[in-house]
Structure 1
Amino acid sequence: MNSTVTAVSSNGEYSFTKPNRDSVRLLAGLGVEGDVHAGVTVKHRSRVAKDPTQPNLRQVHLMHQELFAELRTAGFEVMPGDLGENITTSGIDLLALSVGTLLHLGDEAVVEVTGLRNPCLQIDRFQEGLLKRVVGRAADGTVVRRAGIMGVVTAGGTVRPGDPIRAELPVGPHRPLEYV
């Protein structure tokens, strides 16, 4: 299956959802141009409160559209941008990628995968009961996070719906994603 970008979203103000755009521009070392979470250091409010000098490993949030279809069968209506992601994908198992994977988006942009999104209670404010659908436990009791992945921009460029996605796995052993 071909991997593609199905939607792009950004918001210059703090809000849970992000409106869809015709395109977004990724800026190397910063994130999505004009997005409230762009920057070299952390921008998420809870992380800024702890230590505003931390590096921003969450410049870009990617989420797989296949999750939306699964949630729909459980009675939830979730569309691209609704859960705050910048890039919605199709045809790539984001959650199975290794830390350090390079995602080539379109002709120029490259995002290095840093880890999993750690969803918070805001998801239940969006739609009650949704948090339990995107965070659960495996049979061995470990926490399973399914609300997308985070990354940093290593090469800038414009990203549009329909752009191809190519994953370049890092050299060395697979490093499972952990929340960042």
Structure 2
Amino acid sequence: MDGVVVAVSRHDVYSFTKPNRESITLLAGLGVEGDVHAGVTVRHRSRVAQDPTQPNLRQVHLIHEELFEEVRSAGFRVTAGELGENITTRGIELLGLPAGTLLRIGAEAVVEVTGLRNPCRQIDGFQAGLLKQVVGRDEAGRVVRKAGVMSVVKVGGVVRPEDAIRVELPAGDHRPLERV
């Protein structure tokens, strides 16, 4: 279940999309160096409005490139960084990972998966109708979120496209991902 980094992105100002970079540097306990969402406490504006002292469980956002292929079949064109992710992956079923999974990226970096991204209406501002493609309901009526996973940085390091990603599942019982 190992994979590869397709692209890396960061932005130092609040914007929906993030430009691709040649590399990003992950900082332990903070997130992506130079990214507006890096920090010990929450940085996403909606979360700051609720409680600015809560821990930042959304330091690094990862999306699987396979999602772009899925939405393309519904007529949408999305490329790496356009949904605000920091790391675009290929070959890993991110949404099926349990909470606490470690992703070892490149030579040094390690992130811990904390939960699912809860996409917001800004996605429809990017492309009308896209939100329904990345959030839906299963046959039992439960909400299904497809817009990637959030994580915290456990070990810092430089991450580049084509870096290997190794998946390390947590020991013991696995907890399914919930929205963070």
Deviation, 1:142, is 0.6
Per-residue deviation, 1:73 = 1.2
The answer as to whether partners of 2:2 and 2:167 remain within 8 angstroms in 1 is no
| Amino acid paired to 1:134 | V
Question: Could you report, residue by residue, the CA deviation over 1:63-95 in whole angstroms, capped at 9, with x for unpaired residues?
Answer: 000000111111101000000000000000000
- In the other structure, the counterpart of 1:13 is 13
Q: Please report how far the alpha carbon of residue 6 of structure 1 lies from its aligned counterpart in structure 2 after TM superposition.
A: 0.2
The residue type paired with residue 79 of structure 2 is M
Query: 2: distance between equivalents of 1:51 and 1:66?
Result: 34
Match of 2:166 in 1: 166
SS, match of residue 150 in structure 2: strand
**One-letter code aligned to 1:34:** G
What letter matches 2:24 in structure 1? V
Equivalent in the alignment of 2:148: 148
Shift of 1:173: 1.1
How do residues 1-180 of structure 1 correspond to structure 2 at under 5 angstroms? 3-180=3-180
Secondary structure of the structure 1 residue equivalent to 2:179 = coil
- 1:37 Cα deviation (Å)? 0.1
* Count of aligned positions: 180
Alignment partners' CA distance in 1, 2:4 and 2:50: 36
Q: Is the 8 A contact 2:102 2:170 kept in 1?
A: yes
Distance of 1:70 and 1:99 partners within structure 2: 24
State the SS of the aligned residue for 1:68. Answer: helix
How far apart, CA to CA, are the structure 1 residues paired with 2:19 and 2:105?
A: 20
The whole-number CA distance in structure 1 between the counterparts of 2:176 and 2:72 is 27
Separation in structure 1 between the aligned mates of residue 178 and residue 51 of structure 2, nearest angstrom: 20
TM superposition score normalised by structure 1:
0.99
Task: Write the distance in 2 (CA, Å) between the matches of 1:50 and 1:70.
Answer: 33
After superposition, the C-alpha distances for 1:26-54 in whole angstroms (9 at most, x for unaligned) are: 00000000000000000000000010000
TM-aligned CA deviation for residue 174 of structure 1: 1.5
The alpha carbon displacement at 1:2 in A equals 5.1
For the residue of structure 1 that corresponds to 2:70, the secondary structure is: helix
Question: In structure 1, the residue corresponding to 2:123 is in which secondary structure?
Answer: helix
Structure 1 residue runs of 4 or more that deviate by more than 4 Å after TM superposition: none
Cα distance change of structure 1 residues 2 and 172 upon mapping to structure 2, 3 Å threshold: closer
CA distance in 2, matches of 1:2, 1:140: 30
Task: For 2:86 and 2:170, locate their aligned partners in 1 and report how far apart those are by CA, in whole Å.
Answer: 23
